[in-house]
Amino acid sequence: MKFTKMHGLGNDFIVVAGEQQLPENAAQLAIELCNRFFGIGADGLVYILPSEIADFRMRIINSDGSEAEQCGNAIRCVAKYVYDNGLTNQEEITIETLGAGAQRVQLTVESGKVQTVRVDMGEPILSGLQVPTTVDAEQVIEHPVTVDGREFRFTAVSMGNPHAVIYVDDAVNFDLATWGPKLETHPLFPRKINVEFVTVKSRSHTDMRVWERGAGPTLACGTGACATVVSSVLNGLTDRTATVSLKGGDLLIEWNEEDNHVYMTGPAAEVFRGSL
Ligand SMILES: N[C@H](CCC[C@H](N)C(=O)O)C(=O)O
């Protein structure tokens, strides 16, 4: 099995191309290969597959074996992979995901390699039951959730995958390990949830640290950055275009007023190639 190790701002993936469909044992493979001691080590296992509605299809399996509907950092890696490896020569392509259908992707190429990628991440889903949460409301904004006696308030946003955005005083030093897993698996979230802890720095800049569903504390989360800006606009805290600073680096997010789509711009990198 040949693979390419890639990352988007340190959110890292094992990328496998050439399969016609997801292998039966993809979940077990993800658990074994993402293990940072006994395997290759990564936040997720990503397959590039044929698509009937787009140029390519991406499926992403978290390191715990669960399949995610969408992954912002991985879709930028897939875009880089297909261009750098000559599977396309177009600088604007479409990639199909479970959670957002065929997504438009624009590549910025320098000396024949993709450096940055701008992805149309589609429209945010705000209805409580569709995120999903158990809250039956058009929008779930600053909704209380209590874990171990501590109350948090979250804003729920789906980008195809579910997110709970929580504002804290100091996201950079927030105790992710203690509170992340308790919120990820709270009964309010029927399919568990990605949790973003956010500190707003200005109307065009936030800090964010993420505890990811099925992967734990990652260095960056593309869909989480999108959810962060959507939530911050809904809460009147930032403008529609903002930079989200993650542990692994910055993403530029725009929630376009005309088409209601969220656009994410950021880097993608190849680290090494290998075979198993
Ligand atoms: N753990 C996420 C999938 C990966 C999302 C994240 N890595 C991104 O860049 O969007 C989930 O289960 O929804």
Q: Is 256 annotated as a binding residue?
A: no
The pLDDT of residue 50: 98
Tell me which residue of 153, 128, 130 sits closest to 139, measured CA to CA: 128
What is the pLDDT confidence band of residue 237, given thresholds at 50, 70 and 90?
Answer: very high
**Chain segment 202-222, per-residue pLDDT in tens:** 999 999 999 999 999 999 999
Q: What is the mean pLDDT of residues 30-59?
A: 98
- Tell which one of 43, 47, 221 to mutate to probe ligand 1, the residue whose CB is within 8 A of the most ligand atoms: 221
Establish how many alpha carbons lie within 13 A of residue 155's alpha carbon, considering only the half-sphere containing its beta carbon: 25
The alpha carbon of 94 and the centre of ligand 1 are apart by a number of angstroms equal to 19
The pLDDT of residue 74: 98
- Report d(CA 119, CA 73) in Å as an integer: 10
What is the pLDDT confidence band of residue 275, given thresholds at 50, 70 and 90?
Answer: very high
- Report d(CA 174, CA 217) in Å as an integer: 12
- Report d(CA 24, CA 70) in Å as an integer: 20
Beta carbon of 124 within 6 Å of any ligand 1 atom: no
Q: Name the region of 272 (left: φ>0; alpha: ψ -120 to 50; beta: rest).
A: beta
Q: Is 161 annotated as a binding residue?
A: yes
**Chain segment 97-114, per-residue pLDDT in tens:** 999 999 999 999 999 999
The pLDDT of residue 148: 96
**Chain segment 134-161, per-residue pLDDT in tens:** 999 999 999 999 999 999 999 999 999 9
The pairing of beta strand 56-62 with beta strand 92-97: parallel
**Which residues are catalytically annotated?**
71, 221
Average pLDDT over all residues of the chain: 98
The pLDDT of residue 38: 97
Q: Is 101 annotated as a binding residue?
A: no
pTM to 2 decimal places: 0.98
* In contact, 4 and 15? CB cutoff 8 Å: yes
Q: What ipTM, to 2 d.p.? A: 0.96
Establish how many alpha carbons lie within 13 A of residue 104's alpha carbon, considering only the half-sphere containing its beta carbon: 8
The alpha carbon of 144 and the centre of ligand 1 are apart by a number of angstroms equal to 23
Three-state DSSP class for 76? Answer: helix
The alpha carbon of 58 and the centre of ligand 1 are apart by a number of angstroms equal to 13
The pLDDT of residue 244: 98
Alpha helices in the chain (DSSP H): 26-34, 72-84, 176-184, 222-234
The pLDDT of residue 223: 98
Which are the contacts of 88, defined by CB distance < 8 A and separation ≥ 6? Answer: 55, 56, 82
What is the pLDDT confidence band of residue 173, given thresholds at 50, 70 and 90?
Answer: very high
What is the pLDDT confidence band of residue 249, given thresholds at 50, 70 and 90?
Answer: very high
Q: What is the mean pLDDT of residues 35-53?
A: 98
Beta carbon of 212 within 6 Å of any ligand 1 atom: yes
The pLDDT of residue 254: 98
Instruction: Give, in degrees to the nearest 5, the angle at Cα 24 between 20 and 27.
Output: 110
Which are the contacts of 35, defined by CB distance < 8 A and separation ≥ 6? Answer: 41, 63
* In contact, 89 and 239? CB cutoff 8 Å: no
